[in-house]
Amino acid sequence: MNLEMQFKKTLKEIRLSKKDKILVAMSGGKDSAVTAYLLHKFGYDIEGVHIDLKMGKYSKDCYNAIKTLCENLGINLHVYDVKKEMGSSMCYIRSAVQSKHKGKIKNCAICGVIKKWILNKVARKLRFSKIATGHNLDDEVQTILINIFKGSIDLSATSGPITKNIKDKKFITRIKPLFYVLEDDVRNYAKKKKLPVVFDKCPCAIDSYRIQVRNFLEKVPGKEKQNIMKNFEKLSPKIKKKNIEMNYCEVCGEPSRGKICKKCELMQI
Ligand code: SF4
Ligand SMILES: [Zn+2]
């Protein structure tokens, strides 16, 4: 099945409607560019959001690529400037959090939590019904393995091309239309369509545990990665799942599993 057919099949599976108002999280990379490109091509109502992390030249290149893509396709783009909204660049926020937690929390863990928090808040404020991200099959297989290695496989049981088991009026449902597409296929598609994309990796991703798992998976053929996902999905219904009870964070008011959300927990210095 080619990439476009797989993409459409996933949208059908998650019952995405043309009435949905979708905010696409655009990083400047190939995955979110292909996600925005195809949702637009297939006639969905989308706008883009870019979180500008203010990480020097890399951030500038990412912004320029997104701006070009959105202008070419006529997609409205929202930009969330981390420095303006939160007072500092992501590099500064990260080092402050790391010195508080004695360096135990890795770059991507901090950045990822903050970006998720921002996306939900922005999407709700702008009244979007869905948030689309560019996660591909390789990302998802990495997550399954990380959760197995860390003994928290129940976390993967709720993952899928659409968020499951979370129902809360302040939580915006997230979708991943490239969930079943291999990273190599996304890369080839972006090149074939000549999409403006930054192919370089984020310069701050150097110390992530995920990188180690990604390097390990590099030697695994695509077919085997698809098998890992297929077999995990067979196993997944047997893993006990419960509906996730949502509270509202006592500090910021955003939806949270605990009394204080992960972002506020990290940032309370
Ligand atoms: S790779 Fe890590 S540090 Fe870089 S933008 Fe993504 S989450 Fe943030
Ligand atoms: Zn909070």
Query: Which token pair is 118?
Result: 């921002």
Contact 209, 146 (CB under 8 A): yes
Of all residues in the chain, the percent with pLDDT exceeding 90 is 72
Query: Which token pair is 121?
Result: 């808040």
**Residue carrying structure tokens 């808040």:** 121
Top-confidence residue, 65 or 154: 65
- Whole-number pLDDT of residue 241: 65
Of the ligands numbered here, which is closest to the C-alpha atom of 265? 2
Dihedral sign of CA atoms 135, 138, 140, 146 in order: negative
Q: Is pLDDT at 217 greater than 60 in this prediction? A: yes
> For residues 37 and 141, what is the distance between their CA atoms, to the nearest angstrom?
24
**Residue carrying structure tokens 């996304």:** 186
Of all residues in the chain, the percent with pLDDT exceeding 70 is 97
- Find, among 107, 189, 169, 180, the residue nearest to 140 by Cα: 180
Residue ID of nearest Cα to ligand 1 atom 5? 202
- Find, among 29, 119, 39, the residue nearest to 73 by Cα: 39
What protein residues have CB closer than 5 angstroms to ion ligand 2?
249, 251-252, 261, 264
SS3 (DSSP) at 248 = strand
Q: Which atom of ligand 1 is nearest to the CA of 53?
A: 5
Whether 204 is in the pocket of ligand 1, judged by its Cβ within 6 Å, is yes
Whether 202 is in the pocket of ligand 1, judged by its Cβ within 6 Å, is yes
Query: Which token pair is 65?
Result: 């690529």
Percent of the chain that is helix, strand, coil (3-state, to 5): 50, 10, 40
Whether 111 is in the pocket of ligand 1, judged by its Cβ within 6 Å, is yes
Of the ligands numbered here, which is closest to the C-alpha atom of 54? 1
Q: Is pLDDT at 140 greater than 60 in this prediction? A: yes
| CA 15 vs CA 12, 29, 80: distances in Å | 5, 26, 29
- Mean model confidence pLDDT for the chain: 92
> For residues 51 and 243, what is the distance between their CA atoms, to the nearest angstrom?
30
Q: Is pLDDT at 242 greater than 80 in this prediction? A: no
